[in-house]
Structure 1
């Protein structure tokens, strides 16, 4: 089943590569490179899944997830942290239901799942 996917990462090479892989698998992908653009995108594109980087130029991935969740259309959206900056032990705490925090102290609780870059296509597809 085809999914609508929002991909937010400040590294254009990553967004291009991941979008290409997901589109090849038959999904509709909207890629943006900052939080403000992601907030604008959900006005016309309601994703089933949102892959968010941790460090964006204008806000953290956790702040973006919280702000996206305030939008009425994304109530059913699944939020996945896709980052290379979060310590694996924080992922474990978050997966275990704890408040897990990365090195900058912001909560991971906004995310349904976490993936470390580079993620395999199998890992990405498992989030759908």
Structure 2
């Protein structure tokens, strides 16, 4: 019976050593793979960051060009709108002035000119009255 026990694989010291050695190699390979993966992950992460920076720089340039283009177009539209608004305002003023003239209503400048003439006539009238009054006293 003893011979049968010696022939069983679990009792073979060489087989046990081989299994132990294989397990150690598997363990060491796992550690090596882990270390390699950790190193590669760091380099891979750095490469991803670098590629991200390059992409950001490219897209920033494109976005800035687009923003400049939009700003230029907005400026053009604003200038045209301002010009159109000024034309519309002038046309409105002319139409209102024409309608007021047709109704016999004078412009402010004309009324102010008439007021100045009235003031001149009043002062001339007052001057003549004061001269007539002084002539009667003599």
* Alignment TM-score, normalising by the size of structure 1: 0.13
Pick the structure with greater CA Rg. Answer: 2
More relative contact order, 1 or 2 (CA 8 Å, 6+ apart): 1
Higher strand proportion, which one? 1
* Alignment TM-score, normalising by the size of structure 2: 0.12
Higher helix proportion, which one? 2
